[in-house]
Amino acid sequence: MKSFHYLFWAYTLIWIVLAGYLLSLSLRLKAISSQLRRLKSRLPPDGEP
């Protein structure tokens, strides 16, 4: 059991890395979706000059 803290830190690190990546992915998706919405609302409809 003396090596238990290595096990603890390994799994903690894995979850920090995965949670960090998921957070960054969701923030990037949210940011790009809102940029797309803003840009689409500024453009004239298809076919208009």
b/e for 9-29, b at 16 or more Cβ within 10 A? eeeeeeeeeeeeeeeeeeeee
Least Å from the CB of residue 42 to other proteins? 7
Task: Name the 3-class secondary structure at 1.
Answer: coil
Least Å from the CB of residue 31 to other proteins? 10
Least Å from the CB of residue 28 to other proteins? 6
User: Under the rule (CB under 8 A), what is the footprint of other proteins?
Assistant: 1-4, 6-7, 9-11, 13-14, 17-18, 21-22, 25, 28-29, 32-33, 35-36, 39-40, 42-46, 49
Q: What angle do CA 8, 11, 17 make, to 5 degrees?
A: 135
